């Protein structure tokens, strides 16, 4: 009985991860489509961006979103350290590494 509960728990975790990935992909696509109205991109650029995002693996989009969140957190933490301190410099480096991952330029 406990093995079936464990199997169900694993399946639930898998479904939740897939849902998160799909939600992140949908948010990215909507962002690309709505961006022209906010930033006055041309419709062609918006559709190209939406197509590029839609062709990505949802897990890639989720990883980029997570890296962006980590970069923001590391940046906030760095600002709480004294200017010029080793800790502040290190946290800024960490933030930059996560930012590169979020932009697709690092190991994900």
How much is the pLDDT for 108? 40
Residue 45 CA to its chain's centroid (Å)? 21
Query: pLDDT band at residue 107, thresholds of 50, 70 and 90?
Result: very low
| 67, two tokens | 């890296």
Which residue, chain included where needed, has tokens 């940046």? Answer: 75
How much is the pLDDT for 42? 62
Summarize pLDDT for 13-68 with one digit per residue, the tens.
888 888 888 888 877 777 776 665 556 556 677 667 777 776 777 777 788 888 99
The Cα 46–Cα 38 span in angstroms is 11
Question: What is the pTM for the complete model shown?
Answer: 0.53
CA distances, 83 to each of 61, 72, 96 (Å): 33, 18, 17
Query: Is pLDDT of 83 > 90?
Result: yes
Query: Is pLDDT of 74 > 80?
Result: yes
How much is the pLDDT for 9? 84
The Cα 73–Cα 29 span in angstroms is 24
């Amino acid at each position: 009985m406990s093995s079936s509960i464990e199997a169900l728990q694993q399946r639930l975790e898998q479904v939740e991860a897939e849902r998160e990935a799909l939600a992140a992909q949908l948010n990215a696509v909507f962002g690309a489509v709505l961006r022209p109205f906010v930033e006055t991109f041309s419709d062609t650029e918006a559709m190209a961006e939406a197509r590029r995002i839609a062709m990505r693996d949802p897990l890639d989009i989720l990883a980029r979103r997570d890296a962006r969140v980590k970069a923001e957190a590391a940046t906030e933490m760095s600002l709480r350290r004294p200017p010029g301190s080793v800790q502040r410099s290190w946290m800024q480096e960490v933030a930059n590494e996560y930012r590169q991952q979020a932009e697709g330029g690092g190991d994900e």
